[in-house]
Chains A and B, each alone.
Chain A
Amino acid sequence: ETGVTQSPTHLIKTRGQQVTLRCSSQSGHNTVSWYQQALGQGPQFIFQYYREEENGRGNFPPRFSGLQFPNYSSELNVNALELDDSALYLCASRAGQGNTDTQYFGPGTRLTVL
């Protein structure tokens, strides 16, 4: 167990809807990253939050947005869902900002868009 939790475990939505995924980071970790993993692919970086500010973003459209709260928990919001958004969404937390700081993944949220 990494101490990173995510909710919900599974989610089914229809195209055009909006979804919010949640992540609680490991105690003492102030940095949270979100990744999207499509079936048969490696995780793709969506964005990262450090002390409640977004400080890095991958190649994802603006309809993917997020928040980080004072307790370092985080949300990923996706608007106007598309079929291709169906994937495993992973949250990873770490203690610092250095690239050698290990990232610990949560169990993920499986999103299915119909």
Chain B
Amino acid sequence: QKEVEQNSGPLSVPEGAIASLNCTYSDRGSQSFFWYRQYSGKSPELIMFIYSNGDKEDGRFTAQLNKASQYVSLLIRDSQPSDSATYLCAVSRANDYKLSFGAGTTVTVRA
């Protein structure tokens, strides 16, 4: 079982719709959860982090965390063509330094 698994893409959504990305993790000791966006040929860019159960909103992005279910998600509201990218879920343990990444979900927003 992989440490971090993301729903396989690609995910295609029309402009203005909600894109929903899911991520599960296997290590119950995971404490910090991150969503990175990676455009083709570029490096990952942090868009959200969440540490506590529940929802965290930042502009059009909402991260949701459920530690009991070992599940973290990202919602992108009012999707724009500029949101077309690969989204990487990453987790780290308490008092640890390394990020464990999923393979990513590629999102395409259709104009």
A-B contact count (CB 8 A): 62
The answer on a CB contact under 8 Å between A99 and B103 is: no
> Would B49 and A105 count as touching, CB distance under 8 A?
no
Chain B: interface size category: 20 to 34
Please state if A107 and B43 are interface contacts (CB–CB under 8 Å). yes
Interface positions of B (Cβ within 8 A of A): 4, 31-32, 36, 42-46, 49, 51, 88, 90, 92-104
Chain A interface (Cβ within 8 Å of chain B)? 2, 31, 33, 35, 40-45, 48, 55-56, 58, 88, 90, 92, 97-100, 102-108
Known: A31-B97, A42-B103. 17 other contacts (CB 8 A): A2-B45, A33-B99, A35-B99, A42-B4, A43-B101, A45-B98, A56-B97, A56-B98, A58-B98, A92-B99, A99-B31, A99-B32, A100-B49, A102-B46, A103-B99, A105-B45, A107-B42
